[in-house]
Structures are given as C-alpha cells and as structure tokens.
Structure 1
Amino acid sequence: MTKKIVSIYLMLLMMLPLAKLEEISSKPTTCVAIRSKYRITENGYFTLYDSTNKPYIAFCDFQSDPGFAWTLIESLSTTSARSSKFRKSFSFNVPSNECTPNWTGYRLSKSKMTAIKSSASSTHFRATCNFNGQSQKGLQNRDDYLRVSLCAYNYLLSTRNVWTCAIVDYINVRGHSCTKCSIPFYSSNAYHLFIHLPTSKSSCARFTVPEMITNEDAFGFYHNVNIKFSCTANSTSTTNWWIGGGYFD
C-alpha cells in the first residue's frame, strides 16, 4: 500500500465518529456495537468482550428506545437489592452470576462496567423495573423509569457520599414524571446509587411525587419501599440498570 493510500485511509478513519470505529471492530464491547455491526433487532443474550479481550455473555435491549441499544449491568430483586452485598455503589467490585445472567441477582464486575462505560458509544445510563417480564419486546411504557446522560451525571461508577444534582433526560415514579429536570442522586460504600424522594422534593428542581411513604427510596438502596412503585411491588420485583447509547444503521 503506497504512502498516499495509507494517508487517505488514515484521514478517512479520523473523520469517522469514535462510535463508528467501534462498530467496525471485530470484538464488540457494548450492545451498541452489536446493534451497529450486525443490525440485530431482537433483544437477547450476546457475546461482548472485556478490556482484556475475553468474551462474556451480556443481555442487550435493542427495542425499548428507538435508536438506542442498552447493555444490562445489573438486575436485582427487591430482596437482593436490600442485602448487604448489593448495598454498595457501582464503584465496588461485587460481581454476581456473571457467567449466568439472570434478573434477580446479577451484576457485572467493576472492570466490565468500566469497559462498557468507557466506550465511545456509551452516552447514557438508565434504570427500569421488572424488565425480565418484557425481555422479548422491550419496555411497553415509561412508568417507573429513569434515563440520564453520562455528561449530566458522570459518577455512575463512582462513590459520591454527597447528594449530587443532575439533569435527567426523563424520570417517572409511580406515574409522576418530568423531563430535563434536576434530580438529586446519592451513593456510598453502604448505599447503592438511588433517589430519595423526600430529598428530591426539597432540593435540586424539587421533583415531587404525591403520596410518598416516609423516607421513600426509588431505583436503589430500598431501606423504605413503596409497594406502589413497580420496582418494589413485592420481594421478587426487579430493578434493572443499563449503560447504552445511540447506534448506527
């Protein structure tokens, strides 16, 4: 290959978005790369590669949000979420059932989550409720749902130990929602990343959910739970956390 051809090839590569470069990689590291490379449209389990190029199985959602693909990083039942093992921020390395992904007690290792988040194609994270019942068709609605840009809150895999306001794309708790509003997040060595509704009511954009129970928690930690919130309707209800981004067709 002549120097001129090599120069043109490198110039074309530089013009491609970083996410597009991942798409043409032979070893996808995210579900976004899977969707872009293979044009798969049905949700399911697929092979991804970690930072050491070792393969592992992950669940991908291609259907819930048009134009987005999501990689599942954690799914916990209410019972599991309230256990001491999982009452930790995502900064702690507490993998569970990585070889056998499931919906009641599953969490990727910190290194795998970091590799997914570090991908140029990863732009958002989200939390859903009871996705296991929607696994073939994706979410049917946006009740009890949270989506946030990593630019707005880049502490997903960190421990903050302080309430941090972040503008979310969208949040819905028990049918009450807001778009592009500021919500307080918290995580620590004893608190999974979560939203405390009384704090949300009094700080940031003051997002208020009527008929709160005392110290009601949403999307994590779950010291005090409301059975009307679908993530915690009963002991087997699940909370699902994802990292994702837009894909190329």
Structure 2
Amino acid sequence: MGKLLVFAALLLLVFYYAAGGVAAVAIKSTVSEVYRMRQCGSNPMTTVARNYTARSCVDHMEHGASHCGHYVIDDGQESYVVFCDISTEIGFAYTLIESFGLKHNSFFRKGLTVNWPINENSPNWNMYRLSHSRMSRVRDHSTYWRTTCNFPSVGIDYQDYVRARITDVDPLKQTLSNTCKKVEYINLRGHLGLQTTVAFWNNNGNHMHTDSSARKCAFKATVAR
C-alpha cells in the first residue's frame, strides 16, 4: 500500500500553491509535450530582492521575475518571505506553503484545515509550514494547488504529482475522509489520471493524502509499475 501525501516536501513531497490569475497549462497537447521535466536550478533557496509590492508569487512573475527563490509578499495583513517557483511550469507561479522530509513526518500529521505553523518565517525543505491564516490569504489569490515529490533534487518530473483547482478541492476548508474529489492531473507510482476523481483524507488526525489502495473513486492505482 502506497500513500501520496499532499502538501509535503523533500524526501516525501513538496506542496506549492498556484498563484491566481494565470492560465493553466493546456492539456490539449500530449502528455509528453505538456508534462515534461523542469527544474528550478541548482540552488533555488536564494533570496531575490525586488523594489515593488507583491501580494503573491504571481505578482512577482508579472513584474518580470523568472527564477525560483525567496521573495517578499504582502498579503494585505503582513509582509513575509516565501519561496516562489516561477519557472518549472510555464504560465504558473507557485507559493510554497509546506515542506518536510521523511524523518520529520511525525510533526506533520494534522490536516491543512488545522492551524499548525512550523518555521513559517524561514522557508526550507525540511520542516516548514505556514499558519492557516497565511495559507488562506495566499489561497484567496490562487487558482490551483500542486504537490510533488523530491522537488529540490529533480524539480518537476510529474511522478508522484497531483494538481487540482481550488474550486474542485480546497484543502484549507474541506475536512475529508476517503472523499472523492476532482483533480486535473495525478501520477501515483506510475499510474496516470487526467480529469479524474481521487480519494483524499484531510482532517485533524490525517495530513492531506491519497492512498494507492483506495477503490472508491474513478482513479485507482492498484499495482506499482
């Protein structure tokens, strides 16, 4: 039985929130054309100085930023540093809201509906999570969320990857327990699904995840390839 944890990082998964107002990558093209591997660069956790105010990572992209790194955003309530991925998916700007390594997963068992900030002023791959209020304000300027695995080393290779519209599944508001929700793209252990429904868990005792043994929804990853 394999699990795909949503909104996690490094040895497990990295979650990014897609900044709003940006068109999605067209799925009209073939999978090999649209979903090809992209990387941020050899040292993405670098600070990028800017001389304007940005509400989100997409604002930085619209002002010409094109590299991954630490950027300052002002969400209307406070200013703070976040990690932005502006280069791995064309037309998308993602804000990191949580990241953790396998050895720290015991600290990240609470769902995304729970306020559980960890090192929120110091974005990093090993132990990091924004407060629920900060995540919510980022979500208010967002259209998609995304999760992936081993981002610092491989970037985006669309393996163990999920992307969905917030209007279809909102991890910050919805308590889930083996609940079918629509996603645009999922690849779990080599099993691919496009525009399909996936079983998710997201509650006080379960970090948001899907399970490869789930049979309830349209997407089923029953055998590892």
Give me the TM-score of the superposition, normalised by structure 2: 0.73
- Residue of structure 2 in register with 1:223 after alignment: none
1:194 match: secondary structure: strand
> Residue 9 of structure 1 corresponds to which residue in structure 2?
none
Amino acid at match of 2:53: K
Stretches of 4+ moved more than 6 A in 1?
Answer: none
Any gaps of 5 or more consecutive residues in structure 1?
1-17, 21-25, 213-249
Q: Is the 8 A contact 1:173 1:209 kept in 2?
A: no
Greater per-residue strand proportion = 2
CA contact (8 A) 2:189 2:224 kept: no
Pick from 172, 193, 208: which aligns with 1:178?
193
Spell out, residue by residue over 1:131-187, the C-alpha distance to the aligned partner (whole angstroms, 9 max, x if none). 1225xxx42x21111101112112x10351432211211111122211111101111
* Correspondence list, 1:30-109, <5 A: 30-36=56-62, 38-52=63-77, 54-81=78-105, 83=106, 85-109=107-131
**Cα shift readout 1:159-217 (whole Å, capped 9, x = no counterpart):** 51432211211111122211111101111111001002211xx11104224149xxxxx
Task: Determine the structure 2 residue equivalent to 1:228.
Answer: none
Which amino acid letter does the alignment assign opposite residue 145 of structure 2?
Answer: F
- Verify the 8 A CA contact 2:188 2:212 in the aligned structure 1: no
RMSD: 2.0
TM-score by length of 1: 0.66
C-alpha separation in 1, matches of 2:140 and 2:148: 22
Q: Distance in 1 between matches of 2:75 and 2:133?
A: 8
Contact 1:166 1:183 in 2 (8 A): yes
Q: CA 1:19/1:180 → structure 2, altered by over 3 Å: closer, same or farther? A: closer
State the match for 1:145 in structure 2: 161
Structure whose alpha-carbon radius of gyration is higher: 1
Q: What amino acid maps onto 2:201 in structure 1?
A: Y
Contact 1:89/1:159, CA 8 A, preserved across alignment:
no
1:20-35 correspondence to structure 2 within 5 Å = 27-35=53-61
Give the letter aligned to residue 130 of structure 1: N
Query: What is the percent sequence identity of the aligned residues?
Result: 33
Structure (1/2) with the larger helix percentage = 1
Unaligned runs of at least 5 residues, structure 2: 1-19, 23-51
Shift of 1:51: 3.6
